[in-house]
Amino acid sequence: MFKRLAEAGAAVALTVDGKPVRAVSGDTVAAALLAAGIDHCRTTPVTGAPRAPYCLMGICFDCLVTIDGVGSRQACLVPVSEGMKVETQQGKREAGR
Amino acid sequence: MRTADVVIIGGGLHGCSTALHLALRGLRPILVEKDYAGRHASGVNAGGVRQLARHIAEIPLSIASMALWENIEDLVGDDCGFSSHGTVLVAESEQELAGFRARVDDLRLKGFAHEELIDHAELKRLVPAVSDDCPGGVVSRRDGAADPFRTTQAFRRRAIERGAAVIEGVSVTGLARNGSVWRVETSDGPIEAPKVVNAAGAWADRIAAQLGEPVPLEVIAPMLMVSSRVPPFIDPVVILRGRKLSFKQLANGTVVIGGGHLAVSYRDENRTVLDWTKLATSARTVWELFPAMREATIVRAWAGIEARMPDEIPVVGPSRTSEGVFHQFGFSAHGFQLGPATGAVMAELVATGATNLPIDGLGIERFKA
Amino acid sequence: MNAVDLASSYDLIVIGGGPAGLAAASLAARAGVSTVLFDENPGVGGQIYRGITSTPVTNRLILGEDYWAGEALANEAEASGAVVVNGATVWSLDPERVVGVSIAGKARLIEARRVIIATGSQERPFPIPGWTLPGVMTAGAAQTVLKAQGLLPDGRTVMAGTGPLMWLLAAQILRAGGKIEAILDTTPRRNFLRASPHLPDFVLSPYFAKGLALLREVKAKVPVRRVSSVAAVGDGKLREVVSDRGRMPADLLLLHQGVVPNVNLALAAGTAHAWNERQLCFQPVLDDHFESSVPGIAVAGDGAGIAGGTAAAERGRIAAIAAVRALKPAAAVPDPQSVRQRLRREEMGRAFLDWLHRPADSFRQPEGDTLACRCEEVTARQVRETADMGCEGPNQMKAFLRCGMGPCQGRLCGLTITELIAAQRKTTPAEVGYYRLRPPVKPITLAELASLPISEAERKAVER
Ligand SMILES: Cc1cc2nc3c(=O)[nH]c(=O)nc-3n(C[C@H](O)[C@@H](O)[C@H](O)COP(=O)(O)OP(=O)(O)OC[C@H]3O[C@@H](n4cnc5c(N)ncnc54)[C@H](O)[C@@H]3O)c2cc1C
Ligand SMILES: Cc1cc2nc3c(=O)[nH]c(=O)nc-3n(C[C@H](O)[C@H](O)[C@H](O)COP(=O)(O)OP(=O)(O)OC[C@H]3O[C@@H](n4cnc5c(N)ncnc54)[C@H](O)[C@@H]3O)c2cc1C
Ligand code: FES
């Protein structure tokens, strides 16, 4: 859905659901997911529908993911860092357990 | 001028329940509510339907209520979101457990068997997520929880279906005797009725004061917070004694955390200001007791305006000064469970002048100066 | 800066680091007022200047000169002596001006003698069928990653909606070498009639020439169609966009129908709000100095009512001047009259823009199975039926349907629910009112809350 205009920043290595993803310093987690072509980051607790980041400004909460074991974090507000473990969230798996 | 058999002041669960039970007795009540039914304590409480840990004077009412809760759909045509998974009072130390044992034994002697002492193993069976350090507790197995707003609305709806009138957005501004009837002044004109029920919650002291029987009602605003949906991990409602905590997971996965820490309240403005330092204390308690909850997110917090009496039991019974007026207020942060039966008792009292169920010790005369 | 390094009180706390917050904090700090600015984003700039200190988009033509104007504001704040904390989420503000803030997983309660809320705006909800599908985003979202991370839409991109920002983003995408398959313009034709009395003011405003140039730039490269319905279709992700003018395959649909004040924090602080019929949103009730109904709390910038980035900065300055005068009467401040004059000039073209880009009812008041509340997945039909059953307000609706009770706390359904109830009950949004909002205005983890320093907690507990 998105491509990078310029490879400006330094490379940052993350994993998403255990698979390596290359991000760039200055990315938020949500931007890194979009740039990596990951099509959804969670499913809803009510019907299990897939969701992806919608507003990228902290309003919609559709970008909720588990980051380094902490559930329901807003991926669009958290900057990436080396070695970060991102997990997509399924339904009610929001307690980070 | 509007007339009725009974005017009920206040559309909380208590007013609505009394309206329904009066209508079921064939009377025509008018209920007057200044905001909307369930706007205050009755619509925003924690929904705990517990008999556990109640003052002896209100145990008969509580037990009678439990029987109604268990068949709530027959009464109001809605299940009110009621489910029964028990309430567990967790002891955090051996010493605390010993105190609980004494209470349970004492209740037995008085003929009440709903509270049951449990050991560590049974506690872990009922509440696997609780911290291993807790030696035991007390359970009341028939207790449960319901959806407060839905419950209040269900009582309101059924009361109307059975012939009560409910007027919302209208306040009672005064009342005076007019021959054999009471003339109740409202912001929308007077209503006359031979009987009046004061179910005005945290504002009920103002009505009592007008009748020349002031009460030391304290306006409080217990706070609650709720988490985002988490996987099911706890069935019963859990309460603590030493540290203030009540804790329950709803069917939709969210967890409601309360326990009696208070917000600052402004009853004239229908407003409360949350106290985060105290909510942080609750958070720390949960953090210690339920490690699984540590990374859960708190999505909302709120407080409800409630009446507390100095002895923490309600005022239920006839006015001391004014014939035909009855009081039903001061539920001191645990009146949701009592709603169904207190309405029935009040209707009986209004209609017949007496009640079968003992309400000794709950009268307003206890505050006579 | 970490939570533990913050002082326990400041003269002034500014919440939000967009133009309003940056201008306010700079002015106050320069006047010698101890000032801290909290913003939850990793960098300052707010929405208009997102990524201004770090953007990888170095070709200045792409984002345009209006974007780069933000550099001066950011530099000014940096040099002013204000403490600027990014990654700082404010989750609570009470009428006593105690601010709850979380930084890197730790929470603090910080007191202030004055507070300026500068939390800006958000895009208006755009509830069309399929708007929750992956592949559907707001135009502002695409713009945010373009500015901050240099990400450009790739694949078949369609835009739909109305309003100046949509055209600005289209131009920015094109200048960056991106491609847009089509723009579905949802502006109702008859809007022009309503807007035309305000045309003379608009012509004199700074927006006029810029606006026309943008339109020309975009229309030269992208087919534009007027539509009166839009739906996103796909199974698990966007496949095509369907309108009354046909269907087209798409990988990315960018939606936009204007911006509205971000009211959550101001409402939770207990400030009075009123319905703005021209801008179709709630906004705080403010005096001449942008002071709210709660003493000591001001709301500046687009959060005070939409007027644009330049106006936001001027509003921030006016609020800051009032704060400085209250806190340090002897301090030198800029002449408020000249600030006001600039503000008036900025606000001139607004009425025309608002009426022209007023979204059609059908795009604000959905029908049938279209989701009104994304979080709890509540449909428009459910809301309408519940209103018909007698539900009079959004707070009761919440209790019946759980709409507004998910993690976004009503941000993306609040206006929709209010408008649906008003439509169904044949009354006005002003009459229906808005959700009663409470802190936390952003979810916080239990661990964060438990991390509030105990000493602070105990001290406050004694004071109360
Ligand atoms: C997505 C989007 C993109 C936009 N792009 C443009 C544009 O390119 N050009 C243009 O002219 N106008 C744009 N606007 C319009 C915008 O409203 C501008 O007029 C301008 O940014 C408003 O400035 P402000 O200072 O009032 O608020 P903003 O710039 O919106 O800044 C508010 C800041 O407050 C922060 N904040 C909010 N809540 C909290 C909280 N609880 N805790 C901590 N921080 C918080 C936000 O992170 C944000 O940085 C855009 C609006 C949106 C919503
Ligand atoms: C946060 C919280 C959690 C709680 N948790 C529990 C729990 O888990 N279990 C439990 O059993 N109990 C609980 N409670 C207590 C319970 O909610 C109350 O005891 C009970 O709802 C009281 O009902 P009520 O009808 O007396 O009062 P209210 O619900 O307060 O109703 C009184 C009504 O009277 C109206 N009124 C007042 N004056 C006038 C007037 N002059 N004219 C017209 N109308 C008027 C008010 O607007 C109000 O709606 C909790 C309370 C709170 C606040
Ligand atoms: S994408 Fe909307 S909150 Fe992150």
pLDDT digits (tens, 9 = 90+) for B68-107: 999 999 999 999 999 999 999 999 999 999 999 999 999 9
Domain-located, residue A4:
no
pLDDT per residue over C240-258, tens digit each? 999 999 999 999 999 999 9
* A61 CA: nearest ligand 3 atom: 3
The answer to which of A61-65, A91-95, B173-177, C214-218 has the lowest mean pLDDT is A91-95
pLDDT higher than 50, residue C464: no
Are residues C80 and C132 located together in one domain of the fold?
no
Joined tokens for residue C187:
């502006």
Are residues C129 and C216 located together in one domain of the fold?
yes
Q: How many alpha carbons lie under 13 Å from residue C424 in its C-beta half-sphere?
A: 26
The structural domain count of chain A equals 1
Are residues C87 and C19 located together in one domain of the fold?
yes
pLDDT higher than 70, residue A94: no
pLDDT for the residue C207: 85
Are residues C98 and C138 located together in one domain of the fold?
no
Mean pLDDT (chain C, rounded): 95
* C143 CA: nearest ligand 1 atom: 3
pLDDT for the residue C205: 86
Q: Per-residue pLDDT averaged across C3-16, rounded?
A: 95
Q: Which domain holds residue A16?
A: 11-87
Joined tokens for residue C38:
């909290």
The model's confidence at residue A92, banded by pLDDT at 50, 70 and 90, is: low
Smallest Cβ–Cβ distance between C399 and the set B43, B228, B273 belongs to B43
Mean pLDDT (chain B, rounded): 95
CA distance A3 to C151: 5
pLDDT per residue over B282-304, tens digit each? 999 999 888 888 888 898 999 99
DSSP assignment string, C102-122: EETTEEEEEEEEEEEE---EE
pLDDT per residue over C119-128, tens digit each? 999 999 999 9
The answer to which of B162-171, B345-354, C173-182, C388-397 has the lowest mean pLDDT is C388-397
Are residues C301 and C379 located together in one domain of the fold?
no
Joined tokens for residue C313:
């900065």
Domain-located, residue C359:
no
Task: Tell me the CA end-to-end span of chain C in Å, nearest whole number.
Answer: 29
CA distance B283 to B291: 11
Are residues C93 and C112 located together in one domain of the fold?
yes
Helices (H), chain B: 13-24, 41-44, 59-70, 72-76, 94-109, 120-126, 148-161, 204-210, 276-289, 339-352
What CATH number does the domain containing A37 carry? Answer: 3.10.20.440
pLDDT higher than 90, residue B259: no
Q: Cβ separation of B295 and A69 shorter than 8 Å?
A: yes
Smallest Cβ–Cβ distance between B275 and the set C392, C444, C464 belongs to C464
Domain-located, residue A42:
yes
**ipTM value for the complex:** 0.95
Are residues C50 and C146 located together in one domain of the fold?
no
**Distance in Å, CA C200 to ligand 1 centroid:** 28
pLDDT higher than 70, residue C189: yes
Phi/psi at C312 (nearest 5 deg)? -60, -45
Domain-located, residue A2:
no
**H or E element in which residue C218 lies:** helix C207-219
Q: Cβ separation of A96 and B296 shorter than 8 Å?
A: yes
pLDDT per residue over B138-195, tens digit each? 999 999 999 999 999 999 999 999 999 999 999 999 999 999 999 999 999 999 999 9
pLDDT higher than 60, residue C435: yes
Domain-located, residue C447:
no
Q: Which domain holds residue C53?
A: 3-122+260-333
Are residues C117 and C138 located together in one domain of the fold?
no
What CATH number does the domain containing C380 carry? Answer: 1.10.10.1100
In terms of Cα–Cα distance, which of B48, B39, B22 is closest to B336?
A: B48
Single pTM value for the model: 0.94
pLDDT per residue over C276-289, tens digit each? 999 999 999 999 99
> Do the Cβ atoms of C191 and C351 come closer than 8 Å?
no
The answer to which of A85-94, B199-208, C213-222, C419-428 has the lowest mean pLDDT is A85-94
- Cis peptide, bond prior to residue C188, ω within 30 of zero: no
Q: What is the Cα gyration radius of chain A?
A: 13
Q: Cβ separation of A97 and B228 shorter than 8 Å?
A: no
Write down which residue in C235, C257, C279 finishes a domain: C257
pLDDT higher than 60, residue C92: yes
Mutate to test the pocket of ligand 1, among C1, C40, C47 (most ligand atoms within 8 A of CB): C47
The answer to which of B8-17, B65-74, C200-209 has the lowest mean pLDDT is C200-209
DSSP assignment string, C369-421: TSEEETTTTEEHHHHHHHHHTT--SHHHHHHHH-TT-STTTTTTTHHHHHHHH
Domain-located, residue C14:
yes
C neighbours by CB contacts (3+ pairs under 8 Å): A, B
Q: How many alpha carbons lie under 13 Å from residue C181 in its C-beta half-sphere?
A: 17
Q: Per-residue pLDDT averaged across A40-64, rounded?
A: 94
Are residues C165 and C43 located together in one domain of the fold?
no
Domain-located, residue A39:
yes
Are residues C87 and C150 located together in one domain of the fold?
no
Q: Which residue in chain C has the smallest CA separation from A75?
A: C41
Domain-located, residue C459:
no
pLDDT per residue over C135-161, tens digit each? 999 999 999 999 999 999 999 999 999
Are residues C202 and C234 located together in one domain of the fold?
yes
Q: Cβ separation of C56 and A8 shorter than 8 Å?
A: yes
CA distance A65 to A88: 5
CA distance C81 to C133: 45
pLDDT higher than 50, residue C191: yes
pLDDT for the residue A97: 31
Task: Indicate which ligand has the atom closest to the C-alpha of B337.
Answer: 2
Phi/psi at C151 (nearest 5 deg)? -95, 135
Which residues in chain A have Cβ-Cβ distances shorter than 8 Å to B255?
A: none
Phi/psi at C260 (nearest 5 deg)? -135, 155
Are residues C101 and C182 located together in one domain of the fold?
no
CA distance B196 to B318: 10
pLDDT for the residue C249: 98
pLDDT higher than 50, residue A96: no
Smallest Cβ–Cβ distance between B295 and the set A45, A70, A92 belongs to A70
What CATH number does the domain containing C79 carry? Answer: 3.50.50.60
Task: Indicate which ligand has the atom closest to the C-alpha of A52.
Answer: 3
C 403-432 residues inside an 8 A Cβ radius of B: 405-407, 409
The answer to which of A41-45, B265-269, C359-363 has the lowest mean pLDDT is A41-45
pLDDT for the residue B231: 84
Domain-located, residue C440:
no
pLDDT higher than 60, residue C458: no
Q: Cβ separation of B300 and C405 shorter than 8 Å?
A: yes
Domain-located, residue A81:
yes
Domain-located, residue A35:
yes
pLDDT for the residue C456: 54
Q: Does A96 touch chain B (CB under 8 A)?
A: yes
pLDDT for the residue A95: 38
- Which domains are assigned to chain B? 2-77+148-216+311-367 (3.50.50.60), 87-143+219-308 (3.30.9.10)
Helices (H), A19-83: 29-35
SS3 B282: helix
The structural domain count of chain C equals 3
The neighbour count for residue C209, using CB atoms within 10 Å, is 10
